[in-house]
Amino acid sequence: MNFRYLPMTQEDKKEMLELIGVKSTEELFADIPENIRFQQDMKLSPPLAETELLKELQQLSEQNAHIKTYPSFLGAGVYDHYIPSVVDHVIRRSEFYTAYTPYQAEISQGELQAIFEFQTMICELTDMDIANSSMYDGGTALAEAAVLAVSESRMKKKKILVSEGIHPETRAVLDTYTEAHGLEVKTVPLKNGKTDVDILNDHIDEQTACVLIQYPNFFGSLEDLKEMEEVVHAKDALFVVSSNPLALGVLTPPGTFGADIVVGDVQPFGIPAQLGGPHCGYFAVTKKRMRKMPGRLVGQTQDADGNRGFVLTLQTREQHIRRDKATSNICSNQALNALAASVAMSALGKKGVREMAVQNVIKTNRFKEKCKQAGIAIVDEQPVFNEFVLDVKKPAAEINKELFHKGIIGGYDLARFDKERQGQMLVCVTELRTEQDLEDFARALGGLIE
């Protein structure tokens, strides 16, 4: 063998072919017409020895731009926040990172307790009664919330109103879910950066199962949840709010405004950007709807000796006894990332979470002023949390290339999903951006626009 990690030898291959009764690998593809088969050799580089391979991989990795060395102003759902060093130490413990699922409660108490603590902290942040053990990400959590709202009406209500202020990628996930269920989705436009409540009032009717709002919305603006809650509940629809959990360290939580379901993504707590995933969604409801909640739920109980213990509970899931009553085919959770978020929130504490959120607000508004001083216009001036939209006059993609040459990762090009927003950039400022970062970015961006 020339290479240490070759999956099988030629002798292995020959033995397997003989065992299944064929002479060559090509015979396995006999059912595929020859005219559509790939008949050439793949244009791959020849295999390398281990030392040469490691050198090539190192050279490739050095081409990456890392947010630890390039100040990043890119948000749009994935954020560069402070992660306490203890997070990595805990989630790298083998008891946690190898625990795919805590089926056997008697030997999974550590994992179950970690999930229980995650659920508890999500409830405290959102001001909701109960939260599940996590979802795949914020996008699927919101889509699952919409399906839950329709199922609660026993499929009598099939209309869903979704704010244009919800992340466009989340809306794409929602479209996939709702198309499969034969549901009607209508978008409520924005007015001055926030959901137009007057149009919401015009669109909502007795056939509306739920209204979906993001808070703060995709463009960073703070939605008026109190006013919208009155409109939504007047038509007996469910009020579903997708919320950045870090923002809830300083904002009034959706549960206080009467939200029926609160969802979101806990990536801001302890989960690095890592090329966009994986993430960890959360899903919180009022007590009335806890039996319809998708995913897992960990409950606290006592054993025969009166000791505190934890179990999986209230599971109307597709793989269990009551699978015919399952509310969703989501049967798993992001346990390791939920643990990372729990450790991060625990390390920060209530005061730390609030301070971190306040820093985002202060630095964002400070950067706003620097942009204005540099002659850069703000689109839809509103109170915001760590994101807002700039009018950069030119294609944002081109400006981002120039910024990158200056050692800066720019904002999100809004023309990627809406051609009418050509020349607009969504910028994000977190607590990690220094005063010098803000100064350098404002100066560089102002110069490029001129």
pLDDT for position 303: 87
The 10s digit of each residue's pLDDT in 109-164 is 888 999 999 999 999 999 999 999 899 999 999 999 999 999 998 888 999 999 99
Assign residue 270 a region (left: φ > 0; alpha: ψ between -120 and 50; beta: otherwise). Answer: left
> Is there a contact between 266 and 278 (Cβ–Cβ < 8 Å)?
no
Is it the case that residue 435 has pLDDT exceeding 60?
yes
Tell me what percent of the residues of the chain surpass a pLDDT of 70.
Answer: 95
Report the pLDDT averaged over residues 165-184.
Answer: 94
pLDDT for position 32: 93
Tell me what percent of the residues of the chain surpass a pLDDT of 90.
Answer: 75
> Is there a contact between 245 and 269 (Cβ–Cβ < 8 Å)?
yes
Q: What is the 3-state secondary structure (H, E, C) of 284-330?
A: EECHHHHHHCCCCCEEEEECCCCCEEEEECCCCCCCCCCHHHCCCCC
The whole-model pTM stands at 0.88
Mean pLDDT over the full length of the chain: 92
Is it the case that residue 217 has pLDDT exceeding 80?
yes
The C-alpha atoms of residue 290 and residue 298 are separated, in whole angstroms, by: 12
How does residue 181 score in pLDDT terms, banded at 50, 70 and 90? confident
How does residue 325 score in pLDDT terms, banded at 50, 70 and 90? low
pLDDT for position 8: 80
pLDDT for position 2: 59
Domains of the chain: 85-343 (3.40.640.10), 349-449 (3.90.1150.10)
Is it the case that residue 318 has pLDDT exceeding 60?
no
The 10s digit of each residue's pLDDT in 24-79 is 988 999 999 988 988 888 898 888 888 898 999 999 988 888 888 899 999 999 99
Is it the case that residue 348 has pLDDT exceeding 90?
yes
Is it the case that residue 323 has pLDDT exceeding 80?
no
- The C-alpha angle 441, 447, 448, rounded to 5 degrees, equals 90
The 10s digit of each residue's pLDDT in 238-285 is 999 999 999 999 999 999 999 999 999 999 999 999 888 899 999 999
Report the pLDDT averaged over residues 73-92.
Answer: 96
Pairs from 116-119 (Cβ < 8 Å, separation ≥ 24): 116/298, 116/299, 116/300, 116/310, 117/342, 117/346, 118/338, 118/339, 118/341, 118/342, 119/297, 119/298
